[in-house]
Amino acid sequence: MVCGGHVAQLLKTEFEGRVGPILSLSLWTATLSVLTLGFYRFWMKTRLRRHFWSAVRPDGTPLEYVGKGIEKFTGFLIALVMLALLIGVLALGLVYASYAVFQDEVEAYLVAAVIALPLIYFASYRAKRYVYARTRWRGIRFGLEPAAGKYAMVAMGHLFLSLITLGFLWPRMTFKLEKFRTDRTFFGDQRMHQGGKWTGLAKSFLPTLMCLWLGLGMVSYAVAQSFAVGEKDNGFDAGGELFGLLAFVPLLILIALFFYLRYRIVALRYLANHKTAGGVGLISRLSFPRVLGINIGGYLLTNICTGLAMLVVGAAASGLLILFYPGLADFGVFASGAVSEGTAGDGEGLPSAGLTVAFALFLYMATLLFFSVFRQTFVLFPTWRHYARTLSLTGGEHLAQIQQRDRDHAGQAEGMAEAFDLGAAI
C-alpha cells in the first residue's frame, strides 16, 4: 500500500444465478398470475426483480430490490381510475369523432397515439423513480429526483426535432434524455453525472439513418412514379420497376433493425462509460455480437419451448375434453384446438358456446404465459448476466465518502407504467 495515498480500485461485477431457479420462479409466479386473472402480476414482478437484483453483485455485494407488491398494486389502482376515465371517455369520444368525420377509425388511433406519447414518457420516468427508490447496494439507497412532467415535455421537444430532421437528431435525443435522467439520479447523497457528447453516438447511428433515408427515398420515388404513371398511363415497365423497388423494402427494414440494435448496444456502452458518481465511474464492455447471439438463440429457444409446452397443455386439455364430451373423440389430441377455433361443429355431446370462448381464452392466456416464462429464462436472464459481467466500477475508494439518503416514498409506484405495460419484462 502506498503511503498516504489511495490506490485506484477497480471493482468487478459478479453474477450469481442459474437457469433452473429462474425458470421455476417465473413458472409458478406466471401461473399464479393467470389463475388470479392477472392480479398477481404485481407480486410476480416484485419477486422476479428481487431475484434478478440479488444476482448482480458489484464487488461481490448483491444489489437489493426492496419494493413491495402491495405498493405496485395500490399505485396501479390510482392510475387505473385516472386512465379508466381517460380511456373510457376519451376513446369513446375519439372513435365517435373519427367515424362522424372520416367514416373510419384510423384517425382515432392516430390522435390517441399523440395523446398517449407524452403520457408514456411521463409514466416511464415515474416508474424509474420508483425502481431507483427501491434499489439498494451496500445498504445505500438509490434515488431519482421527481421531474416526470418536465421529462415528458423535454422528450416531446426532442421527438419533434428528430421528426423534422428525418431522424438525424435521434442520437441527440437518446443522449439528452439519458443525461436528463442520469443527472437527477443519486446513489446515497452522491449525484450522478452523465458526461460525453451526443455526437459520440452519431457515428454508430449513421448506418440506421442511411437505411431510413434510403427507405424514405424509395417510397417517395415510388409515390412520385405512380403519379407520373397515372398521368401518362403508359406504364407496364414502370410498374414492374416499382414492384422491384418495393420488394426490397422488407430486406431494408431487416438491415435497419440490425443496425438499430447495434446502435442501442453501442449507445448503452458509451453512456455507461461516461457516467460518474463523484469519484466513482463505470466501465462497460458490452459486446454487440454477444447480445445479438443471446437474442437470436434465446428467442429461438423461447419459441420452441413455448410450442412444445402448448402441445403438452393442448393434449392434456383435449384428454379432459374428450372425457366430458365424447363427441370430440374424433379430434384426438387436437380436440382443444378444434373447440377453441369453433371447428368442432355442434350437436349432441359437444361443449357450449360459453365453454368454447372460455377455452379459447384459456389457450390464449396459456400461450402468453409460457412465452413470457421462457423469454424470461432464455432471453432476459442471459442478457442481464452479460450486462452485469461486463460492468466494472472505478474509484472504489471514493465509495467511503458516499452517505445514506432519505427514503423516497414514491407514492404511486409504477401505477401508470403498469397500466401501459411499460417495462413488461421486469
Partner 1 sequence: MTMTPQVNPWAATPEGVRCEFVDGKTAKRHDAYVTMPPGEGVLEVRYLGEPREDIWGKVMSDETLCVSWPLSQLRHVEGQHNLRWGKVSMGVFTTVMSPTARLYVRDGVLLSEIKAAAPNLTRRAPVTGKGRIAGLITGAVASVLLIVFVLIPAIADQLAMRLPVEGERALGDKTYERIRESFSQNDYIPIRECTNDPGFAALTQMQEALIGASDLAPEAVRLTVLDFDMVNAFALPGGRIVVMRGLIDEAGGPDEVAAVIAHEIGHVAHRDPTRHALRGVGTFGVLSLVFGDFAGGTVVLLGVNQLVNAQYSQEAESAADAYAHALLPKVGVSPGALAPLFERLKEKYGDSEGLASHLASHPKLGDRVDRAHAAAVGFDQDTQPILSEAAWSDLRAICD
Which residues, numbered 51-90, are part of the site for partner 1 (CB under 8 A)?
51, 53-54, 59-62, 64-66, 70, 74, 77-78, 80-81, 83-85, 87-89
Q: Which of 164, 247, 251, 353 binds partner 1 (CB under 8 A)?
A: 353
Residues 363 and 351: beta-carbon distance below 8 Å = no
Question: Is 352 near partner 1 (CB under 8 A)?
Answer: yes
Nearer to partner 1, 251 or 400 (CB): 400
Q: Which of residues 319-338 bind partner 1 (CB under 8 A)?
A: none
Question: Is 188 near partner 1 (CB under 8 A)?
Answer: yes
Q: Which of residues 123-142 bind partner 1 (CB under 8 A)?
A: 136-141
- Give least dist CB 145 to partner 1, A: 19
Residues 348 and 327: beta-carbon distance below 8 Å = yes
For residues 292 and 265, what is the distance between their CA atoms, to the nearest angstrom?
A: 10
Question: Is 409 near partner 1 (CB under 8 A)?
Answer: no
- Give least dist CB 173 to partner 1, A: 25
For residues 263 and 206, what is the distance between their CA atoms, to the nearest angstrom?
A: 9
For residues 375 and 412, what is the distance between their CA atoms, to the nearest angstrom?
A: 28
For residues 284 and 182, what is the distance between their CA atoms, to the nearest angstrom?
A: 16
Question: Is 251 near partner 1 (CB under 8 A)?
Answer: no
- Give least dist CB 34 to partner 1, A: 10
Long-range contacts of 150-158 (CB under 8 A, 24+ apart): 151/121, 151/122, 151/125, 151/177, 151/180, 151/181, 152/118, 152/119, 152/121, 152/122, 152/125, 153/118, 154/180, 155/118, 155/121, 156/117, 156/118, 156/121
Nearer to partner 1, 105 or 330 (CB): 105
Question: Is 28 near partner 1 (CB under 8 A)?
Answer: no
Nearer to partner 1, 89 or 253 (CB): 89
Q: How many residues bind partner 1 (CB under 8 A)?
A: 83
Question: Is 368 near partner 1 (CB under 8 A)?
Answer: yes
What cell was used for 67?
419494493
Nearer to partner 1, 108 or 152 (CB): 108
Question: Is 313 near partner 1 (CB under 8 A)?
Answer: no
273 alpha carbon, distance to own chain's centre: 23
For residues 43 and 35, what is the distance between their CA atoms, to the nearest angstrom?
A: 13
What cell was used for 315?
393434449
Stretch that binds partner 1, among 151-159, 176-184, 312-320, 356-364 (CB under 8 A): 356-364
